[in-house]
Amino acid sequence: MRFRGARCLFVCSVFAFVLLEVCGFAYDIESCSGVFTSASESILNLVFCPLNYQDKETFLKDIDTIIARLGKTRPFDEVVERIGVYYINLSREEENTVLKRTQGFPPLKVRRDFLDGISAYLKSNYKLIILDASGGVSCAELSSIDKISLVILGRRRYKNRSSLAKGFLHELGHSLGLRDECVNCERLCPPGPPNCAPTKEEAKRWWGKLVGKESRVNYIAGCCGNKDYIRPTIASLMNDADKAEDFGPVNERYLKNILEGLGEK
């Protein structure tokens, strides 16, 4: 991803959470499908949380756009019926209690009990996606499918809902283990599988079987902010989400494998 303005990626460290004492989980979680399906049966659970929205309708329209785009993007299009999508109803007072804006990075802190409450309610891991209507920073923890992690989408950073949806795909990629494929990244991160190799030799081991088999896959210089690292394609959602339409063959293979529980292969 090429960073513009305040957009930034949170990797190589963990999000900070505020610890506060409260009793129980008193927030309303709803399934976007309108029918509650056990989150433990889903392969991926997405929980959307609003911040600074003027009305609930706009918030739900943004979620609809994001999920519609996810369902058209490989390999999620093959397992969309097994992805749990939920949203949390918060009053403005509750938003101010649960979510705190910070001057540092990441731009928001989330109460630990709030995160634990969602986990207890769903009885499953999840990705918490905060849609920040007035924010201009988007970021995600470099994580994995089996861990709870946080994604922040600064709505003001995107020119329209289509741009928002593609920005979400980029950040979701990070939360599932994909690294930035940009050369001029604002924040640097060490290379690593599956999509940013420190050397061509490593790249050959990670995705060499796809070179020649997939016309787009090769050994492209520049990844994770280092011109000497190697990425698999010229363009993908992990490089420039505004211009790319998909994750690219190497990332799609990785995502398909983890969604199917096969691990990284």
Q: What is the token pair recorded at 92?
A: 């403005």
| Residue 70 in tokens | 């996810």
C-alpha to C-alpha distance for 75 and 204, rounded to whole angstroms: 23
Those residues with Cβ within 8 angstroms of residue 59's Cβ, 6 or more apart along the chain or in another chain: 48, 50, 53, 87, 131, 133
As given in the structure block, the two tokens for residue 161 are 């809902």
Tens of pLDDT, residue by residue over 134-190, are: 999 999 999 999 999 999 999 999 999 999 999 999 999 999 999 999 998 877 789
Half-sphere exposure of 51 (CA within 13 A, CB side): 27
Instruction: Report angle CA 253, 257, 263 to the nearest 5 degrees.
Output: 125
DSSP state of 27: -
Average model confidence (pLDDT) for the chain?
87
- Residues of the chain with pLDDT > 70, as a percent, come to 87
Q: What is the pLDDT of residue 244?
A: 94
List the end-to-end C-alpha distance of the chain, in Å, as a whole number. 24
Confidence band, pLDDT 50/70/90 cuts, at residue 87: very high
Q: Report which of residues 102 and 146 the model is more confident about.
A: 146
Q: Which fold has domain 17-177?
A: Collagenase (Catalytic Domain) (3.40.390)
Question: Global pTM?
Answer: 0.88
How high is the pLDDT of residue 2?
A: 30
Every domain of the chain and the residues it spans: 17-177, 182-265
